[in-house]
């Protein structure tokens, strides 16, 4: 079996990508407590909030308070989503380690989700990058619908390659390929990730997959086989896409960390600690979540022999 | 990416492996209607029932009536589980195409589940094979806990290889490697399946995985990369193991068929037809089931653009 890297890193996106579509506002103090607990699980990054307009995403209207309230644990990078120049200024003001920009590879999804075509997003990013230049903040761009669009269907690989090229020319330092509505399959993931890493071997490339059709883990595995070492994931499998509702959201952090651990791939994550945080998640968001390992326990779990057997 | 075979076949095990641990008895007429519907989905095999004692598995107490009531669709093999010589005689009497024997690689699991060590199971199989010899029925053996035991933990690969050798010496014609409690990971699956196929390249080898820890699809994918072409799966992800309760049961047939279809691998399955049968499953068993594609729709699904966008 082709093995990828012996070490991967996880970016916990639930506080932003998960809470963003939750119906309930999680009180700021609870968010801070939660992010502080996640900071001690061994994840490399946490996407903590979004500097969007409070009207657009009311559940994240406390972005400054969250960023100012959390403990910044050394070794963890705190990422914030930034949609425009104003957001970039807010992110710099709170000292975010990384800014994440989002655009859609498919214009129909871009217009539905961001009210912008990819071309419009790229112009806007140019303005944002002028603001961040010299600040030391790392700028990543997430390409939504990189593996398919729920409105248009297939997104040509060439289109994704061209967008990456444009982003890098603008000064973006990292790229996330996002399977926004869970349309990717492991063959497609291998092909696109393989091509991107062949062309830009130095690129910090992150895979962001959803488990909408149960393929979150297999897609991550396939990307890992191609050399991808960075993965977005959400605690409990929170998240989703409002335009393609389904059974599940982002790939589940604890299930992904567990898979890599079982394969002998180092994630830096303390699984027991992560599971302890995951156990509190249904209470935090007020509903059951789709994560599996938190229910079944790790594959290391041993059961007592039933009485009467033997 | 290493691609496996361009064609795989699916064995639908829900009528036996799924119903076996359901609390409710599904009336015989409903079972027959359900199996008849499954027969027209393009699966290669259906494990239809078990010729066990009605006391041991009361939900399958109608084994003869089911086998006599179903329509035997040409091209579909109807498999029955057989625990002993009496079961073998009953299976031959109803003209089963294939008999599936089960033993555990780990003795503690074998004693808990079957009240037999592997050695005792092998002796019993010798008696069963005397009965089936010359009948033309295909005899497969399923090795439970081949990837780990919920009581003992790791099961040495050498142990599994030895059991396969013994089974083949007895005259068994096919082997299923079973991850009974969802402990396998894709590295382990690749290693064991790769070794088995390297030693017995002609062997009809089936992978039987559970989704207990979310790794059902990734483990199937990993086995496929090694050359495995036969997969057990249960509609809706029914099933599980009473000794290791968790979030989920067998890998879900429609999710597995969907993954292969998306990868361009032929399964013979008509996904729309399979999804139609899966949609009726919660009503049949009286509870929700964990399958994802039936909820989210195929990755081919297109959504209308939200009004106001564009």
ipTM: 0.97
**What is the per-residue pLDDT for A310?**
43
**Shortest Cα distance, chain A CAs vs residue B113, angstroms:** 8
* DSSP one-letter string for A42-99: T-SEEEEEE-S-TTT-GGGTTHHHHHHHS---TT-EEEEE--SHHHHHHHHHTT-SEE
Facing residues of B281 across strands?
Answer: none
Chain A residues with CB-CB distance to B244 below 8 A: 296, 301, 303
What is the fold, at CATH topology level, of the domain defined by A9-296? Answer: TIM Barrel (3.20.20)
Q: What is the pLDDT of residues B70-116, one digit of tens each?
A: 999 999 999 999 999 999 999 999 999 999 999 999 999 999 999 99
| pLDDT higher than threshold 60 for residue A309 | no
For B217, list phi and psi in degrees, rounded to 5: -70, -40
pLDDT-derived band at B308 (thresholds 50, 70, 90) equals low
B178 close to A257: Cβ distance less than 8 angstroms: no
* Mean pLDDT of the residues in chain B: 96
Q: Residue A193 catalytic?
A: no
* Interchain contact, A187 vs B3, CB within 8 Å: yes
Spatial neighbors of B295 by CB under 8 A, at least 6 apart, are A246, A247
| pLDDT higher than threshold 70 for residue B245 | no
Q: What is the pLDDT of residues B175-197, one digit of tens each?
A: 999 999 999 999 999 999 999 99
**Stretch B15-31: mean pLDDT:** 96
Chosen from A6, A211, A218 to mutate, greatest number of chain B CBs within 10 A: A218
pLDDT-derived band at B244 (thresholds 50, 70, 90) equals low
A305 close to B108: Cβ distance less than 8 angstroms: yes
* Interchain contact, A262 vs B185, CB within 8 Å: yes
For CA atoms B224, B227, B228, B229, the dihedral sign is positive
Q: How many CB atoms lie within 10 A of CB B117?
A: 16
Chain A residues with CB-CB distance to B257 below 8 A: none
Angle at B103 between CA B185 and CA B114, to 5 degrees: 115
**Shortest Cα distance, chain A CAs vs residue B115, angstroms:** 7
Lowest mean pLDDT among A62-66, A303-307, B91-95, B192-196: A303-307
Facing residues of A74 across strands?
Answer: none
| DSSP secondary structure code for residue A244 in this structure | S
Tokens of B214: 């979310």
- Separation of first and last alpha carbons in chain A: 37
Interface check A222 vs B, CB under 8 A: yes
B125 close to B167: Cβ distance less than 8 angstroms: yes
Spatial neighbors of B299 by CB under 8 A, at least 6 apart, are A148, A182, A183, A184, A185, A213, B258, B262
If we measure between CA atoms, which residue out of B191, B101, B174, B176 comes closest to residue B145? Answer: B176
**Domain layout of chain A by residue ranges:** 9-296
| pLDDT higher than threshold 70 for residue B167 | yes
CA dist B44 and B96 (Å) reads 14
pLDDT-derived band at A308 (thresholds 50, 70, 90) equals low
| DSSP secondary structure code for residue A304 in this structure | P
For CA atoms B65, B68, B71, B75, the dihedral sign is positive
If we measure between CA atoms, which residue out of A221, A143, A150 comes closest to residue A182? Answer: A150
Spatial neighbors of A205 by CB under 8 A, at least 6 apart, are A174, A175, A176, A177, A193, A196, A197, A228, A230
A50 close to A63: Cβ distance less than 8 angstroms: yes
Chain A residues with CB-CB distance to B225 below 8 A: 1
Which 3-state string (H, E, C) describes B266-303?
ECCCCHHHHHHHHHCHHHHHCCCCCCCHHHHCCCCCCC
**What is the per-residue pLDDT for A249?**
93
| DSSP secondary structure code for residue A263 in this structure | T
**Stretch A70-85: mean pLDDT:** 98
CA dist A39 and A208 (Å) reads 20
**Strand, coil or helix: what is B79?**
strand
A173 close to A164: Cβ distance less than 8 angstroms: no
Q: How many CB atoms lie within 10 A of CB B192?
A: 22
Put residue A113 in one of left, alpha, beta given phi > 0 → left and psi -120 to 50 → alpha.
alpha
């Amino acid at each position: 079996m082709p093995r990828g890297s012996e070490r991967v890193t996880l970016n916990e996106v639930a506080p932003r990508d998960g809470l963003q579509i939750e119906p309930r506002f999680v009180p700021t103090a609870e968010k801070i407590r939660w992010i502080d607990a996640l900071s001690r699980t061994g994840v490399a990054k946490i996407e903590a909030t979004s500097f969007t307009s409070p009207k657009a995403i009311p559940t994240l209207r406390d972005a400054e308070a969250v960023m100012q309230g959390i403990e910044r644990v050394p070794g963890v990078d705190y990422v914030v989503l930034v949609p425009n120049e104003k957001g970039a200024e807010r992110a710099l003001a709170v000292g975010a380690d990384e800014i994440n920009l989002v655009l859609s590879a498919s214009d129909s999804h871009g217009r539905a989700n961001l009210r912008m075509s990819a071309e419009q997003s790229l112009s806007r990013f140019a303005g944002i990058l002028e603001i961040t230049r010299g600040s030391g903040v790392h700028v990543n761009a997430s390409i939504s619908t990189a593996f398919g669009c729920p409105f248009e269907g297939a997104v040509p690989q060439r289109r994704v390659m061209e967008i990456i090229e444009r982003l890098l020319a603008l000064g973006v330092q990292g790229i996330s390929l996002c399977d926004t509505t869970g349309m990717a399959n492991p063959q497609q993931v291998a092909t696109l990730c393989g091509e991107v890493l062949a062309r830009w071997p130095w690129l910090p490339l992150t895979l962001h997959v959803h488990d909408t059709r149960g393929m979150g883990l297999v897609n991550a595995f396939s990307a890992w086989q191609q050399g991808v070492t960075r993965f977005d994931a959400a605690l409990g499998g929170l998240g989703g896409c409002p335009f393609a509702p389904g059974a599940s959201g982002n790939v589940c952090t604890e299930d992904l960390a567990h898979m890599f651990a079982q394969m002998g791939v180092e994630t830096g994550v303390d699984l027991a600690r992560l599971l302890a945080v995951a156990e509190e998640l249904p209470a935090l968001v007020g509903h059951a979540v789709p994560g599996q390992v938190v229910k079944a326990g790790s594959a290391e779990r041993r059961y007592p022999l039933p009485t009467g057997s033997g």
